[in-house]
């Protein structure tokens, strides 16, 4: 199994004649500010193709200066889906509408455009992936689009990124001036949808704190999830360069007993369930 492009590229070339090359797709889910960008980049270093670099969202200083690793076409269409089905005038990721059963079949949604995005960016890529927190809400739409996309590997594994809800709330307050109560409700919506949409499917829960408490063990776990035999030296170096303790902010949830008491019961129970999955 050989990677033929630089470690910092989002586009990965595998030796397609190597039978050890894993195939399929990886979808990274989770609430905003939960480490989805970090986890996605690690998957990319492990060999997951994220699409052409000119189609990825650019880094933003003071927000995600290491990169969002997010496909702009997918993110834009997710925003349009929420706009079509809801009534929020802006920041629709922040005000997601209720999505009744069967909503993904709404004729107003552009499924043809979704298939075109997938085919243009990911056709004939053996191992590819995408990340956008809004996909936690819109996943049924993308699964249907993927089933109809020609030449695109359609067997999907799911990675759910978990960060303490109070830390997410602190980050959203700093970036978006979002009240804590709103942030916790948003965290619950995204995480419960991610959990429900992936039930019975290949999935892994990735704790944000794990990247700083034991990065190599966490990366080895993701490599095994992809079906890789382990980390190469080049991959270890790439992950080490990308992870930076200085990027770790808003650790208000550090004292579990005190932090747990500050959470609404539904949020506390969901966080406990996801923590068990992350430790499995």
Contact between residue 60 and residue 70 where contact means Cβ atoms under 8 Å apart: no
Contact between residue 126 and residue 12 where contact means Cβ atoms under 8 Å apart: no
More confident residue, 123 or 88: 123
Nearest to 83 by CA among 108, 57, 113: 108
pLDDT of res. 6: 36
pLDDT digits (tens, 9 = 90+) for 34-44: 999 999 999 99
More confident residue, 71 or 9: 71
Q: What is the mean pLDDT of the chain?
A: 88
| Domain 24-279: assigned CATH number | 3.40.50.300
Lowest-pLDDT range of 8-12, 62-66, 228-232: 62-66
Nearest to 278 by CA among 35, 114, 104: 35
pLDDT of res. 5: 37
Phi, psi angles (nearest 5°) of residue 91: 45, 55
Q: What does the alpha-carbon distance between residue 160 and residue 278 come to, in Å, rounded to a whole number?
A: 9
pLDDT of res. 18: 54
Domain boundaries, the chain: 24-279
Nearest to 163 by CA among 243, 239, 46, 274: 274
Question: Residue 151 half-sphere exposure, CB side, CA atoms within 13 Å?
Answer: 10
Is the pLDDT score of 152 beyond 50?
yes
Q: What is the mean pLDDT of residues 161-169?
A: 97
Is the pLDDT score of 252 beyond 80?
no
The confidence band for 90, taking pLDDT boundaries of 50, 70 and 90, is confident
Q: What is the DSSP secondary structure assignment for residue 67, as one 8-state letter?
A: -
The confidence band for 108, taking pLDDT boundaries of 50, 70 and 90, is very high
pLDDT of res. 248: 54
Is the pLDDT score of 273 beyond 70?
yes
């Amino acid at each position: 199994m050989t990677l033929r492009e630089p470690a910092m590229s989002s586009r990965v070339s595998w030796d397609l004649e190597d039978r050890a090359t894993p195939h399929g797709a990886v979808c990274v889910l989770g609430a905003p500010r939960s480490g989805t960008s970090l986890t996605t980049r690690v998957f990319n270093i492990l060999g997951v193709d994220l699409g052409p670099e000119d189609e990825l969202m650019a880094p933003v200083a003071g927000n995600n200066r290491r990169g969002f690793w997010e496909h702009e076409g997918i993110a834009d269409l997710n925003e349009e889906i929420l706009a079509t089905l809801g009534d929020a005038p802006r920041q629709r990721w922040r005000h997601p509408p209720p999505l009744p059963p069967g909503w993904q079949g709404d004729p107003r949604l552009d499924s043809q455009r979704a298939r075109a995005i997938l085919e243009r960016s990911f056709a004939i890529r053996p191992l590819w992936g995408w990340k956008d927190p809004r996909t936690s809400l819109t996943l049924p739409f993308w699964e249907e689009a993927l089933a109809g996309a020609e030449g695109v590997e359609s067997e999907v594994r799911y990675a759910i990124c978990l960060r303490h809800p109070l830390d997410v709330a602190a980050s959203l307050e700093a970036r978006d001036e979002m009240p804590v109560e709103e942030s916790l409700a948003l965290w619950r919506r995204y995480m419960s949808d991610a959990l429900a949409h992936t039930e019975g499917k290949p999935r892994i829960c990735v704790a944000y704190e794990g990247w700083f408490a034991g990065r190599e063990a966490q990366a080895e776990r993701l490599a095994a999830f992809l079906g890789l035999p382990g980390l190469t030296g080049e991959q270890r170096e790439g992950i080490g360069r990308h992870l930076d303790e200085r990027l770790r902010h808003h650790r208000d949830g550090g004292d579990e007993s005190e932090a747990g008491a500050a959470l609404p019961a539904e949020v506390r129970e969901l966080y406990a369930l996801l923590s068990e999955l992350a430790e499995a």
